[in-house]
Structure 1
Amino acid sequence: MKLFTLIRLFLLSVVTGHWQLLEARIDCSILQERIDSLINPPLLKQAGQILRFDRTLLDIGTLTEDDAPKTYRFMCTNLSGKTLNLTRVKTTCGCVVADIQSGDILPGGTKVIGLTYNPNNHPGTIDANAFVYLSLSDEKPVARLTLRGNVLPSADEWARYPYIMGKLRLKQNRMEFKISGKRLSERILCGNSGEQELRLSASSVPKFATFRTEPEVISPGGEADVVVTIDASQIPSGKGSSFTFSIIIEGIDVPQSDRILNIRVNRIE
């Protein structure tokens, strides 16, 4: 192959490579813009001349995870000279729930929007937004309401384990299996909040299931996995494709009704 042809091919590959890289960067930029517009949509033009709020940013100070949910209120006034219809308030965090009465706001009339913040399981900085929408614009909000502050961790070091069985704390008290093969194991993270070692076992375990913890001994202040394994080949045919059963955890000093682990099995063909 002639030298000139080789040079042409080399230049073509370089140009093509740069163009593909540029196209990839443009695609990523467009995708990021779309994501940003969904998370933080731009406000409707002249929004402040349509609906005025007594405040749109509120510093709620320092909370702890142990604090109860609290509601903060924002009042708005219709400045448009026309009847407005409040359709929805969209929040950006599951820690905030909007309390509103959708409907008409007469000219000069007011309406109150409540934002209830729940600090439980949300330690760290608070920066939660709620976007207010009117019927005249379903895509662009007329206002952005913001709560800012800080949440300190819970005084209870075991608060992230909401299910209590004596000194045993669990992330959840139920399991769900979706079995398509012969054997499947599911796990629940647990912890020992006591001062003595825990050695757990279980009763009322059907023949097609087994129970264990990893590690076998849970040291004081330590964590472990509760592991349940199901052998699908041992499940009686009469059980059907979906059924539930319960096992009783042994090795903890609480009433039997307080140490039940509920399990659902769904067999997928």
Structure 2
Amino acid sequence: MKKLIILFTAIFAFIGFTAMQTKNAEIKFEKETHDFGTIKRSVPAVYEFKFTNTGTDPLILSGVKSTCGCSVADFPKAAIAPGASGVIKVTFDALTVSPFTKSFTVSSNAKTPVKSLYIKGIVE
């Protein structure tokens, strides 16, 4: 019985210490919104959001999702070392003439695990 109590105490202590570990990766973008200005219809507009891992642990991007099918994002699949930089390349292909604002949701293992990026402009 004494061994069982020691075993359960060790398991709970391990779980507690694991849960208390902090995330030490952090993503810092040069800018989070890009204005394309006026762009032409059916001509893809491309922008690269530059970022740096300002934390002390490797940064892992788990996904970048767009708000519509007219825009896509390409992002690094490999871990970004502390102090290293990378880019998230977004492409917007407008089929209708109108002003637009689109967002991209960036998911990662950073202290702030979800960030939003925005593109905007006018399609002529």
Normalised TM-score (structure 2): 0.72
1:52 lines up with 2:28 in the alignment: yes
**Aligned AA (2:74):** D
Is residue 49–residue 87 contact of structure 2 (8 Å, CA) maintained in 1?
yes
Q: Deviations over 1:77-129 (max 9, x none)?
A: 0111111111110110111110112220111011110000101x232111000
Q: Kindly report the root-mean-square deviation, in angstroms, between the aligned alpha carbons of the 2 structures.
A: 1.9
1:50 shift after superposition = 1.6
1:141 shift after superposition = 4.5
Structure 2 equivalent of residue 86 of structure 1: 61
**Aligned AA (2:121):** G
The equivalent position to 1:124 in structure 2, one of 98, 116, 119, is 98
1:96 lines up with 2:68 in the alignment: no
| Paired-residue identity, % | 32
Q: Give the 5 Å matches for 1:21-32.
A: none
Q: Deviations over 1:183-242 (max 9, x none)?
A: xxxxxxxxxxxxxxxxxxxxxxxxxxxxxxxxxxxxxxxxxxxxxxxxxxxxxxxxxxxx
Q: Which runs of 5+ in 2 are unaligned?
A: 1-24
Structure 1 equivalent of residue 38 of structure 2: 62
1:142 lines up with 2:114 in the alignment: yes
| Count of matched residue positions in the alignment of Structure 1 and Structure 2 | 100
Partners of 2:32 and 2:55 lie apart in 1 by: 18
Structure with bigger gyration radius: 1
1:51 shift after superposition = 0.8
1:73 lines up with 2:48 in the alignment: yes
Partners of 2:121 and 2:57 lie apart in 1 by: 36
Structure 1 equivalent of residue 84 of structure 2: 109
Q: Secondary structure at the match of 1:84?
A: coil
Partners of 2:106 and 2:116 lie apart in 1 by: 6
Normalised TM-score (structure 1): 0.35
Partners of 1:129 and 1:98 lie apart in 2 by: 11
Structure 2 equivalent of residue 26 of structure 1: none
Is residue 58–residue 148 contact of structure 1 (8 Å, CA) maintained in 2?
yes
Is residue 26–residue 110 contact of structure 2 (8 Å, CA) maintained in 1?
no
Q: Which runs of 5+ in 1 are unaligned?
A: 1-48, 153-269
The equivalent position to 2:107 in structure 1, one of 126, 129, 133, is 133
Structure 1 equivalent of residue 17 of structure 2: none
Is residue 51–residue 142 contact of structure 1 (8 Å, CA) maintained in 2?
no
Partners of 2:109 and 2:29 lie apart in 1 by: 18
Partners of 1:113 and 1:136 lie apart in 2 by: 16
Partners of 1:74 and 1:145 lie apart in 2 by: 8
Q: Deviations over 1:146-195 (max 9, x none)?
A: 0011112xxxxxxxxxxxxxxxxxxxxxxxxxxxxxxxxxxxxxxxxxxx
